[in-house]
Amino acid sequence: MIKDIATPIRTQEIMAKHGLTVKKSLGQNFLIDPNILRKIVGQADLTKQSAAIEIGPGIGALTEHLARSAGKVLAFEIDQRLLPVLDDTLSPYDNISIIHSDILKADVAAAIAKELEGYDDIMVVANLPYYVTTPIIMKLLLEKLPIRGLVVMLQKEVAERITAKPGTKAYGSLSIAIQYYTEAEMALTVPKSVFMPQPNVDSAVIRMTKRTTPQVEVIDEDFFFKVTRGSFVQRRKTILNNLQAAMPDGKEKKELILKALEDAGIDPTRRGETLSIKEFGGLADELYKHFG
Ligand code: SAM
Protein backbone atom coordinates (compact mmCIF):
# COMPACT_ATOMS: atom_id res chain seq x y z
CA MET A 1 0.00 0.00 0.00
CA ILE A 2 1.43 3.36 -1.05
CA LYS A 3 1.62 6.01 1.70
CA ASP A 4 -0.91 8.84 1.28
CA ILE A 5 0.46 12.26 0.34
CA ALA A 6 -2.32 13.88 2.36
CA THR A 7 -1.01 13.58 5.90
CA PRO A 8 0.56 16.47 7.83
CA ILE A 9 3.91 14.65 8.17
CA ARG A 10 4.19 13.52 4.55
CA THR A 11 3.13 16.96 3.26
CA GLN A 12 5.82 18.61 5.40
CA GLU A 13 8.38 16.07 4.22
CA ILE A 14 7.54 16.68 0.55
CA MET A 15 7.67 20.45 0.96
CA ALA A 16 11.00 20.29 2.80
CA LYS A 17 12.51 17.89 0.25
CA HIS A 18 11.64 20.24 -2.63
CA GLY A 19 12.24 23.49 -0.71
CA LEU A 20 8.63 24.45 -1.41
CA THR A 21 6.72 27.29 0.22
CA VAL A 22 3.02 27.87 -0.45
CA LYS A 23 1.90 30.73 -2.67
CA LYS A 24 -1.16 32.25 -1.06
CA SER A 25 -1.82 34.32 -4.18
CA LEU A 26 -2.51 31.04 -6.04
CA GLY A 27 -4.92 29.78 -3.39
CA GLN A 28 -2.56 27.04 -2.27
CA ASN A 29 -4.20 25.28 0.67
CA PHE A 30 -3.20 21.63 0.54
CA LEU A 31 -5.39 18.84 1.89
CA ILE A 32 -3.78 16.80 4.66
CA ASP A 33 -6.60 14.40 5.59
CA PRO A 34 -7.07 11.17 3.60
CA ASN A 35 -10.61 10.72 5.00
CA ILE A 36 -11.85 13.94 3.44
CA LEU A 37 -10.22 12.93 0.15
CA ARG A 38 -12.03 9.58 0.19
CA LYS A 39 -15.31 11.44 0.81
CA ILE A 40 -14.69 13.93 -2.03
CA VAL A 41 -13.80 11.17 -4.50
CA GLY A 42 -16.80 9.13 -3.28
CA GLN A 43 -19.08 11.98 -4.39
CA ALA A 44 -17.87 11.61 -7.98
CA ASP A 45 -19.01 7.97 -8.50
CA LEU A 46 -15.88 7.05 -10.46
CA THR A 47 -15.02 3.64 -11.89
CA LYS A 48 -11.99 2.47 -13.85
CA GLN A 49 -14.08 3.28 -16.95
CA SER A 50 -14.24 6.96 -15.86
CA ALA A 51 -11.75 9.76 -16.31
CA ALA A 52 -11.23 12.63 -13.88
CA ILE A 53 -10.13 16.18 -14.63
CA GLU A 54 -8.46 18.01 -11.75
CA ILE A 55 -7.79 21.74 -11.52
CA GLY A 56 -4.76 22.54 -9.38
CA PRO A 57 -3.21 19.24 -8.26
CA GLY A 58 -0.86 21.05 -5.83
CA ILE A 59 1.50 18.36 -4.51
CA GLY A 60 -0.84 15.56 -5.62
CA ALA A 61 -2.99 14.82 -2.54
CA LEU A 62 -6.28 14.52 -4.43
CA THR A 63 -4.65 13.46 -7.70
CA GLU A 64 -3.45 10.15 -6.28
CA HIS A 65 -6.89 9.32 -4.86
CA LEU A 66 -8.37 10.05 -8.29
CA ALA A 67 -5.72 7.89 -9.97
CA ARG A 68 -6.70 4.98 -7.71
CA SER A 69 -10.44 5.31 -8.47
CA ALA A 70 -10.51 6.41 -12.14
CA GLY A 71 -9.02 4.96 -15.31
CA LYS A 72 -7.22 8.20 -16.17
CA VAL A 73 -6.56 11.60 -14.56
CA LEU A 74 -5.91 14.83 -16.44
CA ALA A 75 -4.75 17.70 -14.23
CA PHE A 76 -4.06 21.40 -14.95
CA GLU A 77 -1.58 23.20 -12.68
CA ILE A 78 -0.57 26.86 -13.09
CA ASP A 79 2.46 26.82 -10.75
CA GLN A 80 5.56 25.65 -12.58
CA ARG A 81 7.37 24.94 -9.28
CA LEU A 82 4.94 22.11 -8.59
CA LEU A 83 5.69 20.13 -11.76
CA PRO A 84 8.89 18.41 -10.49
CA VAL A 85 7.18 17.84 -7.14
CA LEU A 86 4.26 16.10 -8.84
CA ASP A 87 6.66 14.05 -10.96
CA ASP A 88 8.15 12.77 -7.74
CA THR A 89 5.03 12.30 -5.57
CA LEU A 90 2.92 10.73 -8.32
CA SER A 91 5.67 8.45 -9.68
CA PRO A 92 3.87 5.28 -8.45
CA TYR A 93 0.96 6.00 -10.85
CA ASP A 94 1.00 5.61 -14.63
CA ASN A 95 -2.48 6.95 -15.40
CA ILE A 96 -1.97 10.70 -14.77
CA SER A 97 -1.25 13.50 -17.26
CA ILE A 98 -0.33 16.92 -15.89
CA ILE A 99 -0.67 20.00 -18.08
CA HIS A 100 1.20 23.14 -17.01
CA SER A 101 -1.41 25.82 -17.69
CA ASP A 102 -3.76 28.37 -16.24
CA ILE A 103 -7.08 26.54 -16.49
CA LEU A 104 -8.76 29.80 -17.54
CA LYS A 105 -6.52 29.96 -20.61
CA ALA A 106 -6.34 26.24 -21.37
CA ASP A 107 -8.03 24.60 -24.36
CA VAL A 108 -9.76 22.00 -22.21
CA ALA A 109 -11.77 20.45 -25.08
CA ALA A 110 -8.56 19.80 -27.04
CA ALA A 111 -6.85 18.35 -23.95
CA ILE A 112 -9.81 16.01 -23.37
CA ALA A 113 -9.74 14.88 -27.01
CA LYS A 114 -6.01 14.18 -26.78
CA GLU A 115 -5.60 12.76 -23.28
CA LEU A 116 -8.96 11.17 -22.49
CA GLU A 117 -9.74 9.47 -25.77
CA GLY A 118 -12.13 6.55 -25.32
CA TYR A 119 -13.53 7.78 -21.97
CA ASP A 120 -17.28 8.46 -22.14
CA ASP A 121 -17.65 9.23 -18.45
CA ILE A 122 -15.65 12.28 -17.40
CA MET A 123 -15.95 14.11 -14.06
CA VAL A 124 -14.21 17.27 -12.89
CA VAL A 125 -13.01 16.76 -9.31
CA ALA A 126 -11.04 19.54 -7.65
CA ASN A 127 -10.10 21.44 -4.53
CA LEU A 128 -10.36 24.79 -6.31
CA PRO A 129 -8.13 27.84 -5.77
CA TYR A 130 -10.58 30.07 -3.87
CA TYR A 131 -9.60 33.35 -5.57
CA VAL A 132 -11.03 32.15 -8.84
CA THR A 133 -13.74 29.52 -8.17
CA THR A 134 -16.64 31.08 -10.06
CA PRO A 135 -14.75 31.87 -13.31
CA ILE A 136 -13.40 28.29 -13.37
CA ILE A 137 -16.83 26.68 -12.89
CA MET A 138 -18.47 29.01 -15.43
CA LYS A 139 -15.73 28.36 -18.00
CA LEU A 140 -16.14 24.59 -17.68
CA LEU A 141 -19.93 24.87 -18.05
CA LEU A 142 -20.02 27.44 -20.85
CA GLU A 143 -17.52 25.53 -22.99
CA LYS A 144 -20.05 22.69 -23.13
CA LEU A 145 -17.38 20.04 -22.48
CA PRO A 146 -18.23 16.33 -22.62
CA ILE A 147 -18.34 16.00 -18.81
CA ARG A 148 -20.94 14.33 -16.53
CA GLY A 149 -20.48 16.94 -13.85
CA LEU A 150 -18.25 18.52 -11.23
CA VAL A 151 -17.42 17.77 -7.60
CA VAL A 152 -15.53 20.71 -6.18
CA MET A 153 -14.35 22.14 -2.90
CA LEU A 154 -14.82 25.88 -2.56
CA GLN A 155 -15.69 28.60 -0.03
CA LYS A 156 -18.81 27.58 1.94
CA GLU A 157 -20.41 30.96 1.27
CA VAL A 158 -20.07 30.51 -2.52
CA ALA A 159 -21.23 26.89 -2.22
CA GLU A 160 -24.37 28.14 -0.48
CA ARG A 161 -25.02 30.70 -3.22
CA ILE A 162 -24.55 28.16 -6.01
CA THR A 163 -26.93 25.61 -4.47
CA ALA A 164 -29.50 28.11 -3.10
CA LYS A 165 -33.22 27.69 -3.75
CA PRO A 166 -35.62 30.58 -4.55
CA GLY A 167 -36.86 32.52 -1.53
CA THR A 168 -33.57 32.26 0.37
CA LYS A 169 -31.02 34.98 1.09
CA ALA A 170 -28.27 33.15 -0.79
CA TYR A 171 -30.33 32.80 -4.00
CA GLY A 172 -29.20 35.08 -6.81
CA SER A 173 -27.87 35.29 -10.35
CA LEU A 174 -25.00 32.86 -9.55
CA SER A 175 -27.49 30.21 -8.33
CA ILE A 176 -29.45 30.66 -11.56
CA ALA A 177 -26.42 30.66 -13.89
CA ILE A 178 -25.22 27.35 -12.47
CA GLN A 179 -28.58 25.65 -11.87
CA TYR A 180 -29.56 26.49 -15.44
CA TYR A 181 -26.87 24.05 -16.64
CA THR A 182 -26.63 21.64 -13.67
CA GLU A 183 -28.41 20.10 -10.74
CA ALA A 184 -26.33 21.53 -7.90
CA GLU A 185 -26.29 20.16 -4.37
CA MET A 186 -24.30 20.62 -1.19
CA ALA A 187 -22.30 17.43 -0.53
CA LEU A 188 -20.03 18.08 2.47
CA THR A 189 -19.03 20.86 4.79
CA VAL A 190 -15.35 20.73 5.59
CA PRO A 191 -13.46 21.92 8.70
CA LYS A 192 -10.43 24.21 8.29
CA SER A 193 -8.25 21.65 10.08
CA VAL A 194 -7.98 19.43 6.96
CA PHE A 195 -5.87 22.04 5.13
CA MET A 196 -2.26 23.16 5.33
CA PRO A 197 -2.10 26.12 5.65
CA GLN A 198 -5.64 26.61 6.94
CA PRO A 199 -7.74 29.01 4.82
CA ASN A 200 -9.40 32.05 6.40
CA VAL A 201 -12.88 31.01 5.28
CA ASP A 202 -15.07 27.93 5.80
CA SER A 203 -15.18 25.35 3.02
CA ALA A 204 -17.70 23.00 1.46
CA VAL A 205 -17.89 20.44 -1.33
CA ILE A 206 -20.67 20.68 -3.88
CA ARG A 207 -21.76 18.29 -6.60
CA MET A 208 -23.04 19.65 -9.92
CA THR A 209 -24.55 17.15 -12.35
CA LYS A 210 -24.95 18.49 -15.85
CA ARG A 211 -28.49 18.56 -17.23
CA THR A 212 -29.03 17.04 -20.66
CA THR A 213 -30.95 20.19 -21.57
CA PRO A 214 -30.97 23.46 -19.61
CA GLN A 215 -33.57 23.76 -16.86
CA VAL A 216 -35.69 26.13 -18.95
CA GLU A 217 -35.80 26.77 -22.67
CA VAL A 218 -35.31 30.45 -23.56
CA ILE A 219 -35.24 32.42 -26.82
CA ASP A 220 -31.85 33.99 -26.11
CA GLU A 221 -29.47 32.75 -23.36
CA ASP A 222 -27.45 35.97 -23.11
CA PHE A 223 -30.61 38.02 -22.73
CA PHE A 224 -31.93 35.57 -20.09
CA PHE A 225 -28.72 36.01 -18.06
CA LYS A 226 -28.91 39.79 -18.49
CA VAL A 227 -32.45 39.73 -17.05
CA THR A 228 -31.47 37.51 -14.11
CA ARG A 229 -28.40 39.60 -13.25
CA GLY A 230 -30.38 42.81 -13.57
CA SER A 231 -33.11 41.50 -11.28
CA PHE A 232 -30.72 41.16 -8.31
CA VAL A 233 -28.74 44.41 -8.60
CA GLN A 234 -30.69 45.94 -5.71
CA ARG A 235 -32.00 42.96 -3.79
CA ARG A 236 -34.38 44.96 -1.61
CA LYS A 237 -36.14 46.54 -4.59
CA THR A 238 -39.02 45.01 -6.54
CA ILE A 239 -38.50 43.15 -9.78
CA LEU A 240 -40.18 46.08 -11.57
CA ASN A 241 -37.70 48.61 -10.15
CA ASN A 242 -34.72 46.44 -10.95
CA LEU A 243 -35.88 45.77 -14.50
CA GLN A 244 -36.48 49.49 -15.11
CA ALA A 245 -32.81 50.03 -14.33
CA ALA A 246 -31.63 46.97 -16.29
CA MET A 247 -33.56 47.31 -19.57
CA PRO A 248 -32.53 49.91 -22.18
CA ASP A 249 -34.63 53.07 -21.58
CA GLY A 250 -36.42 51.04 -18.91
CA LYS A 251 -37.47 54.15 -16.95
CA GLU A 252 -39.44 55.52 -19.91
CA LYS A 253 -40.68 52.09 -20.97
CA LYS A 254 -42.26 51.12 -17.65
CA GLU A 255 -45.52 50.14 -19.40
CA LEU A 256 -43.71 47.60 -21.58
CA ILE A 257 -42.01 46.08 -18.55
CA LEU A 258 -45.35 45.89 -16.72
CA LYS A 259 -46.89 44.21 -19.75
CA ALA A 260 -44.06 41.63 -19.93
CA LEU A 261 -44.46 40.92 -16.20
CA GLU A 262 -48.22 40.54 -16.58
CA ASP A 263 -47.88 38.26 -19.64
CA ALA A 264 -45.37 36.12 -17.72
CA GLY A 265 -47.81 35.95 -14.76
CA ILE A 266 -45.47 37.71 -12.33
CA ASP A 267 -46.62 40.30 -9.79
CA PRO A 268 -44.45 43.42 -10.34
CA THR A 269 -44.11 43.96 -6.58
CA ARG A 270 -42.29 40.66 -6.07
CA ARG A 271 -38.55 40.64 -5.46
CA GLY A 272 -36.13 38.81 -7.76
CA GLU A 273 -35.16 36.36 -5.06
CA THR A 274 -38.70 34.88 -5.04
CA LEU A 275 -38.72 33.94 -8.75
CA SER A 276 -37.91 30.38 -9.83
CA ILE A 277 -35.61 29.77 -12.79
CA LYS A 278 -38.65 28.74 -14.85
CA GLU A 279 -40.38 32.04 -14.00
CA PHE A 280 -37.22 33.96 -15.00
CA GLY A 281 -37.21 32.03 -18.29
CA GLY A 282 -40.82 33.01 -19.07
CA LEU A 283 -40.17 36.61 -18.03
CA ALA A 284 -36.99 36.88 -20.13
CA ASP A 285 -38.87 35.65 -23.21
CA GLU A 286 -41.66 38.23 -22.67
CA LEU A 287 -39.12 41.03 -22.17
CA TYR A 288 -37.20 39.86 -25.23
CA LYS A 289 -40.22 40.73 -27.40
CA HIS A 290 -39.79 44.40 -26.41
CA PHE A 291 -36.10 44.77 -25.49
CA GLY A 292 -34.27 41.91 -27.25
N1 SAM B 1 -5.35 19.67 -5.12
C2 SAM B 1 -4.43 20.10 -4.08
C3 SAM B 1 -4.94 19.67 -2.72
O4 SAM B 1 -6.16 19.46 -2.62
O5 SAM B 1 -4.15 19.57 -1.79
C6 SAM B 1 -4.18 21.61 -4.12
C7 SAM B 1 -5.41 22.48 -4.06
S8 SAM B 1 -5.08 24.19 -3.83
C9 SAM B 1 -6.55 24.70 -2.99
C10 SAM B 1 -5.33 24.94 -5.43
C11 SAM B 1 -4.33 24.57 -6.51
O12 SAM B 1 -4.71 25.23 -7.73
C13 SAM B 1 -2.90 24.99 -6.27
O14 SAM B 1 -2.03 23.92 -6.59
C15 SAM B 1 -2.65 26.18 -7.22
O16 SAM B 1 -1.31 26.33 -7.62
C17 SAM B 1 -3.56 25.79 -8.36
N18 SAM B 1 -4.04 26.92 -9.21
C19 SAM B 1 -4.31 28.19 -8.81
N20 SAM B 1 -4.79 28.92 -9.83
C21 SAM B 1 -4.84 28.08 -10.91
C22 SAM B 1 -5.25 28.26 -12.27
N23 SAM B 1 -5.71 29.44 -12.71
N24 SAM B 1 -5.14 27.20 -13.12
C25 SAM B 1 -4.67 26.00 -12.67
N26 SAM B 1 -4.29 25.78 -11.39
C27 SAM B 1 -4.36 26.80 -10.52
Residue 3, pLDDT above cutoff 90: no
Residue type, 102: D
Residue 1, pLDDT above cutoff 90: no
Which pTM was predicted? 0.96
What is the pLDDT at residue 257? 98
What 79-86 contacts at long range (C-beta under 8 Å, 24+ apart), as own/partner pairs, is: 79/23, 79/26, 79/28, 81/20, 82/20, 82/57, 82/58, 84/18, 85/14, 85/18, 85/20, 85/59, 85/60, 86/57, 86/59, 86/60
Q: Which of 26, 39, 105, 151 to mutate to test the pocket of ligand 1 (most atoms within 8 A of CB)?
A: 26
Domain with CATH 3.40.50.150 in the chain: 8-210
Alpha-carbon span 247 to 237, nearest angstrom: 15
Per-residue pLDDT averaged across 1-26, rounded?
Answer: 95
Which is more confident, 192 or 1?
192
Asked if 214 contacts 182 with a C-beta cutoff of 8 angstroms, the reply is: no
> Across the chain, where does the E strand assignment appear?
30-31, 50-55, 72-77, 96-100, 121-127, 149-155, 182-190, 195-196, 203-210
Q: Which residues approach ligand 1 with their CB closer than 6 A?
A: 26-31, 55-58, 61-62, 76-79, 82, 102-104, 127, 129, 132
Take atom 22 of ligand 1 and give the residue whose Cα is closest. Answer: 102
Asked if 204 contacts 186 with a C-beta cutoff of 8 angstroms, the reply is: yes
Report pLDDT digits (tens) over 94-130. Answer: 999 999 999 999 999 999 999 999 999 999 999 999 9
Instruction: Tell which CATH architecture fits domain 8-210.
Output: 3-Layer(aba) Sandwich (3.40)
Give the distance, in angstroms, between the CA of residue 165 and the centroid of all CA atoms in the same chain: 17
Per-residue pLDDT averaged across 155-164, rounded?
Answer: 98
221-291 CATH: 1.10.8.100
Please tell me the distance between residue 224's alpha carbon and the centre of ligand 1 in angstroms.
Answer: 32
Please tell me the distance between residue 77's alpha carbon and the centre of ligand 1 in angstroms.
Answer: 6
Q: Is 61 left (phi over 0), alpha (psi -120 to 50) or beta?
A: alpha
What is the pLDDT at residue 2? 77
Domain with CATH 1.10.8.100 in the chain: 221-291
Atom of ligand 1 nearest to the CA of 29: 9
Report pLDDT digits (tens) over 39-55. Answer: 999 999 999 999 999 99
Please tell me the distance between residue 14's alpha carbon and the centre of ligand 1 in angstroms.
Answer: 16
